[in-house]
C-alpha cells in the first residue's frame, strides 16, 4: 500500500512500526459552533481510511481529540455573558458552549454514520499532563517563561518548517510580536497562557492559566499511542502552524513523533471559501434537513481525491444522488434475479479451483482487483468508484438477459459475485447505506434509534424531541405498541 506523506512530499510504501498494528491520530474539532460540511469531509475521510486499513488486515487504534478550551470558545462565551444571554460566569459559559457543541458534533457524526474513534481525549482532561510536558520543555531549554506565559523557543527547534516546506528566514519575515505579547521572537508560540479575569483557568507553576492550542496534540498522542506512532492526520489548513508546532514540541521534548502525515484538502462552496460572513455556510444539519441522505455528501467526497480541494455545488449533489440511485437499482435488480434463479443454480457444483473461478469471472475479478489497487494507491476513491460502476455495468448487462438454461450458471455466479462485492465495498469501506431499499433512509433510521435509546434511558423529554423532529422534518409518525415502535409516513 502506498500513501502520500506530507512530510516527505512523496508517495511512500506504508510500513507500520509494529507489524499489523497501526496508531493513527487525527486533529478533531474545536467545539464552539455547529459542525459544517467541511468538518464532515475530514471526519469522513479519516473514517474511510480507517475502514480500508482494517479491510487490509491491519488493527487500527484511532485517536481523535476534542479541543474544549480555546480562544474561540472563550470569545463566544464572552459574547453570551456581555449580551446577558446567560447569568453564569465566563468560565461556566465557556464550559457550557464546549459541552453543547461537542454534543452537536457527536449527534452529526452519528447522523452521517461516521464511526467513533477508539479514544477521544479532551484538552481539559489533560491539563496536568500538559503542565508536566511544558515543564520538561522548560528544563530542556526548548521553552521559556515570560510573565505568566510560557513560550516555545523556535530557535531551539531543529528543521522548523520541514512539514510546511518553508525556510525559517522567510517565516521570520511574516511573523510579528503583537502588542501585549511577551514572546522574544515572532515565531515563538504559546504553550501556556496566563488567565485574564474570569477566563477558565487552572493552577500551574507559572500561575493561573490555560494551555495553548498546539501542546494538547503532542501530549495526548504520545500518552495514548506512544512517542512514535504511524499516522497523523488533519486538514491541510492545519499544516502551518499547528502541525509544524506539534513536531517542534515533540522533538523539543526529545521524543519521536508521527512517521506519516496525511492531510485532506479543503471544501469550497461554488469555488468560494465557506464562511458565515459570506452567507454560504452549510451545517451538517442544514444538509441533512434538505437532502435527507448523508450518502450524497459521501459520494461527493469519494469522487474527489482526498488530498484535493472539493467544490460543493447543488449540481454535484444532484449527480451524487443519481449515482446512489444507480447503485441501489442495480442491487435491487440483482437481488431479485439472484432469488429468481437461486433454485435453478444453487444445487449445481460451481468451480473446482480458484483459478477456474477467476477464469470464468475474469472481467468482474479484474474490476475488483483494480478497485483494491486504486485504494492501495493513496486511497484513490474516485478511481475505486469508477471500478464499482464498471462492475455494475457488467452486472446490469447480465440481469437483462439472464435465464435458467444451463449455460447461464456462470453468468449467474458472476452476478452474485458482483452484487456481493459492490454491496460489501460500498457499505463496509465507504459507509454508504444501501440496505432496506425503499424503507427508511439512513438518517431516519438513526433518528428512530436515538429516540429509542433515550426512551430506554427514561429521558422522555429528549425522546419526544426526536419524535417531533421525525414528524416535522421527515413526515414520519411513530406509534409505540406493546412489542415495539412502528412507523409510517404521514400522507
Ligand atoms: Zn492537533
pLDDT of residue 155: 93
Question: CA-to-CA distance for 303 and 323, rounded, in angstroms?
Answer: 11
Question: CA-to-CA distance for 114 and 489, rounded, in angstroms?
Answer: 26
Residue 484 CA to ligand 1 center (angstroms) comes to 44
pLDDT in tens, 439-456: 566 677 888 888 999 999
Most confident of 272-276, 328-332, 380-384, 446-450: 380-384
Q: Using an 8 Å Cβ cutoff, are 394 and 367 in contact?
A: yes
Closest C-alpha to 487, from 456, 459, 445: 445
DSSP line for 100-113: HHHHHHHHHHHHHT
- Element (DSSP H or E) covering residue 229: strand 229-235
Residue 299 CA to ligand 1 center (angstroms) comes to 27
- Is residue 92 assigned to a domain? yes
Residue 244 CA to ligand 1 center (angstroms) comes to 10
Residue 29 CA to ligand 1 center (angstroms) comes to 9
Q: Are residues 328 and 460 in the same domain?
A: no
We report the CATH number of the domain holding residue 325 as 1.10.730
Q: 354 or 226: whose pLDDT is higher? A: 226
Residue 150 CA to ligand 1 center (angstroms) comes to 19
- Is residue 176 assigned to a domain? no
| 214 burial via Cβ count (<10 Å: 0-12, 13-18, 19+) | buried
pLDDT of residue 441: 66
Over the chain, what is the mean pLDDT? 92
Q: 332 or 102: whose pLDDT is higher? A: 102
pLDDT of residue 409: 81
End residue of a domain, out of 242, 264, 286: 264
pLDDT at 239 over 60: yes
In this prediction, residues 249-271 reach a mean pLDDT of 97
pLDDT at 287 over 80: yes
pLDDT of residue 43: 98
350 — pLDDT class (breaks 50, 70, 90) = low
Q: Are residues 339 and 371 in the same domain?
A: yes
Residue 243 CA to ligand 1 center (angstroms) comes to 6
Q: Which three cell numbers stand for residue 203?
A: 493552577
Q: Are residues 8 and 100 in the same domain?
A: yes
Residues whose CB falls within 8 Å of the CB of residue 215, separated by 6 or more in sequence, listed in order: 130, 133, 134, 191, 192, 249
Residue 216 CA to ligand 1 center (angstroms) comes to 7
Helical spans, DSSP H, in 24-152: 37-55, 71-82, 90-112, 127-139
Residue 232 CA to ligand 1 center (angstroms) comes to 9
Question: CA-to-CA distance for 65 and 246, rounded, in angstroms?
Answer: 14
Domains in the chain, number = 3
Q: Are residues 8 and 41 in the same domain?
A: yes
Return the DSSP state at 114.
P
Q: Where is average pLDDT lowest: 269-273, 403-407, 478-482?
A: 403-407
Q: What are phi and psi of 247, to 5 degrees?
A: -60, -45
Residue 214 CA to ligand 1 center (angstroms) comes to 6
Residue 62 CA to ligand 1 center (angstroms) comes to 14
Residue 52 CA to ligand 1 center (angstroms) comes to 23
End residue of a domain, out of 407, 429, 451: 429
Q: Are residues 221 and 254 in the same domain?
A: yes
Residue 327 CA to ligand 1 center (angstroms) comes to 37
Question: CA-to-CA distance for 409 and 121, rounded, in angstroms?
Answer: 54
Q: Are residues 259 and 323 in the same domain?
A: no
Tell whether the torsion through CA atoms of 225, 22, 54 and 107 is positive or negative: positive
- Is residue 348 assigned to a domain? yes
Residue 432 CA to ligand 1 center (angstroms) comes to 28
Q: 150 or 440: whose pLDDT is higher? A: 150
pLDDT in tens, 48-74: 999 999 999 999 999 999 999 999 999
pLDDT of residue 410: 83
Q: 65 or 172: whose pLDDT is higher? A: 65
Residue 44 CA to ligand 1 center (angstroms) comes to 17
Residue 477 CA to ligand 1 center (angstroms) comes to 43
Q: Which three cell numbers stand for residue 284?
A: 451538517
Start-to-end CA span in the chain (Å): 51
CB atoms near residue 404 (< 10 Å): 12
Parallel/antiparallel/unpaired status of strands 10-13 and 2-5: antiparallel
pLDDT at 145 over 60: yes
Residue 67 CA to ligand 1 center (angstroms) comes to 9
Residue 439 CA to ligand 1 center (angstroms) comes to 40
- Is residue 418 assigned to a domain? yes
Q: Are residues 338 and 257 in the same domain?
A: no
Q: Which three cell numbers stand for residue 162?
A: 520541514
| 10 burial via Cβ count (<10 Å: 0-12, 13-18, 19+) | exposed
- Is residue 187 assigned to a domain? no
Residue 395 CA to ligand 1 center (angstroms) comes to 45
- Is residue 435 assigned to a domain? no
Q: Are residues 425 and 451 in the same domain?
A: no
CB atoms near residue 50 (< 10 Å): 22
Residue 463 CA to ligand 1 center (angstroms) comes to 35
pLDDT of residue 352: 58
pLDDT in tens, 300-326: 999 999 999 999 999 999 999 999 999
Residue 483 CA to ligand 1 center (angstroms) comes to 47
406 — pLDDT class (breaks 50, 70, 90) = low
Residue 123 CA to ligand 1 center (angstroms) comes to 11
Q: Are residues 134 and 222 in the same domain?
A: yes
Q: Are residues 232 and 107 in the same domain?
A: yes
pLDDT at 404 over 80: no
Closest C-alpha to 94, from 69, 115, 67: 69
407 — pLDDT class (breaks 50, 70, 90) = low
- Is residue 236 assigned to a domain? yes
- Count Cα atoms within 13 angstroms, Cβ side, for 193: 20
- Is residue 281 assigned to a domain? no
pLDDT at 405 over 80: no
Residues whose CB falls within 8 Å of the CB of residue 184, separated by 6 or more in sequence, listed in order: 144, 146, 151, 153, 177
pLDDT in tens, 190-238: 999 999 999 999 999 999 999 999 999 999 999 999 999 999 999 999 9
Question: CA-to-CA distance for 274 and 37, rounded, in angstroms?
Answer: 9
**Domain span at residue 480?**
442-489
Q: Using an 8 Å Cβ cutoff, are 60 and 48 in contact?
A: no
Closest C-alpha to 67, from 118, 26, 108, 14: 26
Return the DSSP state at 26.
E
pLDDT at 438 over 60: no
Residue 240 CA to ligand 1 center (angstroms) comes to 11
Q: Using an 8 Å Cβ cutoff, are 17 and 260 in contact?
A: no
pLDDT of residue 342: 82
pLDDT in tens, 99-117: 999 999 999 999 999 999 9
Q: Are residues 388 and 477 in the same domain?
A: no
Question: CA-to-CA distance for 209 and 203, rounded, in angstroms?
Answer: 7
pLDDT of residue 269: 96
pLDDT at 3 over 60: yes
Residue 163 CA to ligand 1 center (angstroms) comes to 14
In this prediction, residues 19-36 reach a mean pLDDT of 96
Residue 303 CA to ligand 1 center (angstroms) comes to 27
Question: CA-to-CA distance for 477 and 143, rounded, in angstroms?
Answer: 60
We report the CATH number of the domain holding residue 123 as 3.40.50.620
Residue 134 CA to ligand 1 center (angstroms) comes to 16
Residue 65 CA to ligand 1 center (angstroms) comes to 8
Amino acid at each position: 500500500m502506498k500513501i502520500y506523506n506530507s512530510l516527505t512530499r512523496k508517495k511512500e510504501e506504508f510500513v507500520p512500526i509494529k507489524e499489523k498494528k497501526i496508531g493513527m491520530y487525527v486533529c478533531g474539532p474545536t467545539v464552539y459552533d455547529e459542525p459544517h460540511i467541511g468538518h464532515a469531509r475530514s471526519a469522513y475521510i479519516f473514517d474511510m481510511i480507517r475502514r480500508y486499513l482494517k479491510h487490509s488486515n491491519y488493527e487500527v487504534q484511532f485517536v481523535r481529540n476534542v479541543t474544549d478550551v480555546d480562544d474561540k470558545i472563550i470569545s463566544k462565551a464572552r459574547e453570551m455573558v456581555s449580551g446577558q444571554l446567560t447569568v453564569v460566569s465566563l468560565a461556566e459559559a465557556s464550559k457550557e458552549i464546549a459541552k453543547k457543541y461537542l454534543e452537536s458534533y457527536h449527534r452529526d457524526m452519528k447522523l452521517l454514520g461516521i464511526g467513533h474513534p477508539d479514544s477521544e481525549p479532551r484538552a481539559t482532561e489533560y491539563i496536568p499532563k500538559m503542565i508536566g510536558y511544558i515543564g520538561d520543555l522548560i528544563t530542556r531549554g526548548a521553552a521559556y517563561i515570560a510573565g505568566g506565559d510560557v513560550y516555545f523557543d523556535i530557535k531551539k527547534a531543529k528543521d522548523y518548517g520541514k512539514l510546511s516546506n518553508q525556510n525559517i528566514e522567510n517565516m521570520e519575515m511574516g511573523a510579528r510580536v503583537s502588542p501585549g505579547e511577551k514572546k522574544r521572537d515572532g515565531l515563538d508560540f504559546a504553550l501556556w497562557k496566563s488567565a485574564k479575569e474570569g477566563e477558565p483557568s487552572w493552577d500551574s507553576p507559572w500561575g493561573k492559566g490555560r494551555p495553548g492550542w498546539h501542546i494538547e496534540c503532542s501530549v495526548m498522542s504520545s500518552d495514548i499511542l506512544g512517542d512514535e506512532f504511524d499516522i497523523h492526520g488533519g486538514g491541510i489548513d492545519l499544516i502551518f502552524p499547528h502541525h509544524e508546532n506539534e513536531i517542534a514540541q515533540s522533538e523539543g521534548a526529545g521524543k519521536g513523533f508521527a512517521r506519516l502525515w496525511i492531510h485532506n484538502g479543503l471544501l469550497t462552496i461554488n469555488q468560494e471559501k465557506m464562511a458565515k460572513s459570506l452567507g454560504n455556510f452549510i451545517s451538517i444539519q442544514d444538509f441533512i434537513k434538505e437532502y435527507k441522505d448523508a450518502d450524497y455528501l459521501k459520494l461527493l467526497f469519494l469522487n474527489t481525491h482526498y488530498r484535493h480541494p472539493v467544490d460543493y455545488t447543488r449540481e454535484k449533489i444532484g449527480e451524487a444522488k443519481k449515482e446512489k440511485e444507480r447503485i441501489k437499482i442495480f442491487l435491487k435488480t440483482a437481488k431479485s434475479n439472484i432469488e429468481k434463479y437461486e433454485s435453478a443454480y444453487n444445487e449445481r457444483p460451481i468451480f473446482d479451483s480458484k483459478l477456474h473461478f477467476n477464469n470464468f469471472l475474469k472481467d468482474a475479478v479484474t474490476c475488483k482487483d483494480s478497485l483494491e489497487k486504486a485504494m492501495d494507491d493513496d486511497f484513490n476513491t474516485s478511481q475505486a468508484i469508477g471500478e464499482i460502476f464498471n462492475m455494475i455495468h457488467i452486472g446490469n448487462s447480465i440481469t437483462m438477459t439472464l435465464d435458467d438454461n444451463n449455460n447461464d450458471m456462470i453468468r449467474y455466479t458472476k452476478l452474485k459475485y458482483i452484487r456481493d462485492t459492490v454491496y460489501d465495498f460500498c457499505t463496509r469501506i465507504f459507509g454508504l447505506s444501501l440496505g432496506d431499499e425503499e424503507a427508511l433512509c439512513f438518517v431516519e433510521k438513526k433518528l428512530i434509534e436515538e429516540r429509542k435509546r433515550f426512551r430506554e434511558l427514561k429521558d422522555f423529554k429528549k425522546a419526544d424531541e426526536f419524535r417531533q423532529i421525525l414528524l416535522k422534518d421527515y413526515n414520519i409518525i411513530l406509534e409505540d405498541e406493546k412489542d415495539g415502535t412502528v412507523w409510517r409516513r404521514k400522507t
